[in-house]
Amino acid sequence: MLATLSSKLAVFLLAAVLSLVATAARAADTLHVVTHQRVTVVTDPAKGTNTYKAWGRFPAAKEGIRSIKLNVRLGCPDGMRCADWDYNDHITIRRTGGVKGASQDYEVGRMLTPYGGAFGKDWHFNWEVDITDFSLLLRDSVEIEYNHTGYEPNKDRGWSVTLDFEIVKGRPAWEPISIQKIYDGSFRYGDPANSIENLLKPVDFTAAKDAAFARLRVVQTGHGMDKPDGCGEFCDKYRELWVDGKLFDKRPIWKQCGDNPLYPQAGTWVYSRANWCPGDLMQPDLYNLPVLGGSRHTIDLTMQPYTAAAAPSADEVISAYLVQYRKAAAQHDVALQAVVRPSLQDAYRRENPASMQPRIIVKNMGATPVRSLTVRYGLAGTARQQYQWRGNLAPSASTVIDLPGLIAGRAGRNTFVAELLRPDGKADQYAADNRLASPYEAAPTHGSDLVVHLQTNNQPGQNSYTLTDNAGKVWRQRPAGSLKANTLYRDTLRLPVGQYRFVLLDSANNGLEFWANPRGGRGKLRLLNATGAMLKDFESDFGSSVVYDFAVGQPVAPITAQTSFGLYPTSTNGPTTFDYYANFPEDLVVQLVTDPGDAVVEEHRYPQLKEGVFTYDLSRFPKGRFYLKVLVNGQEKFKKRIRLKER
């Protein structure tokens, strides 16, 4: 009897181990198809477009695909500087089925390039977007095209572009049946002689006999500069989606840019725009339309009525695709899409490093709404916390979940682990995507005596700050309306051991400094210790907010060779002021160089400088653009553009 039980137990344990191994294998079965590897991309000023094509080998049609994520990495090209302008670039499936295969021309990604004029040569940034909806096309040999638009000079500037298709193999949550192009093009908006509604015509489709729903995937951005409205780039208009003659959705084609994780940039990066921001990989609007097999339906996108006052120049650039899907493969199935904090991902820079309230993104991959979910999380190698989430997460919808508690970690690199368990109290029917490990840097630890050093600008009514602990207690605040212009505030704090979050807000979304807002002047924010050493220097050109998490306790983070740079104004008829602050004396070389050309026209040397303010008069130079470069101990540490006599 005992032998029989032992034998059964052994079989059970073996089966459990094999199941765990199989689950781990499924989770790790990820394929990276890199079609463009650090390709140098420049404009073709004669045409306004320049295409870069490459082939990739994707999974065979019979292989199951769980998800596809497009990772786009931009950097400065070797031997060139980063490009200047916010151009509208398209990433497209050109051909499928090999060299002689069919032309497809499906846009899978749209990249709005940043204002890169002030980026250093080692700059790079990563974006990502889920493109699983194109899994029917991304099979076998596929030709991918990166289409870079624009007219700027192409001899000394450009982008280094990497396209990485991250494919997780496995059972699809919804099996696709077909993909159909609905709209694809640039549609003139505001033309009194030809309404955009004459171009965005209703489109009919027939549901497949085994279709459970149809997903409409829309990417739309507005461009052009009508007078006086600034359409289509700078006018806030709405779009409606009509399905079978009934209003299905209405939303503004507008996006706030002051919280862009890529900041600062050289141009007008903080200005809100028609559904995009400079330095932005577009995220699609997704609409799931319930259908019955064989039924007929009509889709119609319409825009808010608008007529240009003068010659129309506005365009709405729209790509819209309809993907029909069979019913979900599982009833109870959730996926952990991302760990927002703690994280090292570029897209979450504004929220990290974090010391409290982990944040994750969860998606319902099943057929039924999810109303409860257990999340287990914490520092790898330590005891985990558990949190019971309750809500109503519809099929295929995603939600952000803030988890209670602290984010523990040692100084330097750590790993945070989160895992989803028991959706609605049931076993998850596809557990391979329930767990993520997120590398992160621990928030710094400071001593109890701190100084908030805030120099206000000319518009202090736009600013406020709060310092709270992990329990939400406010330890110090300067409410909106309480600050005076051009005033230095040194708020001395004595804090007990704990976790804290400092937040500075700007209601105008243009920070303490913005080159195109000369009336605002320039302010400065630093966090100092009791002896005046700089613990954290904050970029003045921050847009909408800065967030800084830290701990008070032991061991205290050592004082490092931090440096602070400032240059204002950067649009001038002559004088501009450079300020510098450092924890330790350093050898500085300040250079004024031409743009383009990088010819040094003025140079200043400051040996063993710790702090200083210097004014330079550039009025003797001709109208144009320059860069101020600062080399610290021979290494370039600061670079900012100066617009001379352009106003």
Which of the four pLDDT bands, split at 50, 70 and 90, describes residue 211? very high
Kindly report the three-state secondary structure assignment for every residue of 546-580. EEEEEEECCCCCCCCCCEEEEEECCEECCEEEEEE
With a cut of 60, say whether residue 336 has pLDDT above it.
yes
Give per-residue pLDDT as tens, 511-530: 999 999 999 999 999 999 99
Which of the four pLDDT bands, split at 50, 70 and 90, describes residue 310? confident
Beta strand pairing call for 445-446 and 534-538 = unpaired
Q: Which residues contact 241 (CB under 8 A, 6 or more apart)?
A: 216, 218, 247, 248, 249, 250, 287, 299, 300, 301
Give per-residue pLDDT as tens, 237-280: 999 999 999 999 999 999 999 999 999 999 999 999 999 999 99
Q: Residue 100: what pLDDT?
A: 73
Over residues 384-400, mean pLDDT: 96
- Its pTM stands at 0.91
Which helix (H) or strand (E) segment is 452 a member of? Answer: strand 449-455
Q: Residue 228: what pLDDT?
A: 85
Q: Residue 102: what pLDDT?
A: 75
With a cut of 50, say whether residue 607 has pLDDT above it.
yes
Q: Residue 351: what pLDDT?
A: 95
Residue ranges and CATH numbers for the domains of the chain are: 24-172 (2.60.120.230), 175-322 (2.60.120.230), 334-441 (2.60.40.10), 444-560 (2.60.40), 562-647 (2.60.40.1930)
Burial of 364 (0-12, 13-18, 19+ CB in 10 A): buried
Listed ranges 39-48, 221-230, 306-315, 631-640; the one with the highest mean pLDDT: 39-48
Compute the radius of gyration of the chain from its Cα atoms: 27
Beta strand pairing call for 571-572 and 635-644 = parallel
Q: Residue 412: what pLDDT?
A: 85
Give per-residue pLDDT as tens, 467-515: 999 999 999 999 999 999 999 999 999 999 999 999 999 999 999 999 9
Q: Residue 5: what pLDDT?
A: 36
With a cut of 60, say whether residue 593 has pLDDT above it.
yes
The answer to whether the beta carbons of residues 548 and 538 sit under 8 Å apart is yes
Cα–chain center distance at 592: 32
> What average pLDDT is seen over the chain?
93
For tokens 């600013």, name the residue.
463
Q: Residue 647: what pLDDT?
A: 64
CB atoms within 10 A of CB 202: 14
Which of the four pLDDT bands, split at 50, 70 and 90, describes residue 97? confident
Which of the four pLDDT bands, split at 50, 70 and 90, describes residue 99? confident
Query: Higher confidence at residue 114 or residue 14?
Result: 114
The answer to whether the beta carbons of residues 255 and 235 sit under 8 Å apart is no
CB atoms within 10 A of CB 293: 12
Q: Residue 629: what pLDDT?
A: 94
Q: Which residues contact 185 (CB under 8 A, 6 or more apart)?
A: 199, 317, 318
Q: How many CA atoms lie within 13 A of 290 on its CB side?
A: 3
Q: Residue 343: what pLDDT?
A: 98
DSSP 495-506: --SEEEEEEEEE
Give per-residue pLDDT as tens, 153-182: 999 999 999 999 999 999 999 999 999 999
The answer to whether the beta carbons of residues 406 and 431 sit under 8 Å apart is no
CB atoms within 10 A of CB 302: 17
Over residues 115-142, mean pLDDT: 95
Which of the four pLDDT bands, split at 50, 70 and 90, describes residue 465? very high
Cα–chain center distance at 573: 36
Residue 615's nearest CA partner among 572, 579, 570 is 579
In whole angstroms, give the CA distance from residue 38 to residue 162: 5
Q: Which residues contact 18 (CB under 8 A, 6 or more apart)?
A: none
Give per-residue pLDDT as tens, 3-56: 433 444 343 343 433 333 333 334 459 999 999 999 999 999 999 999 999 999
Residue type for 461, please? G
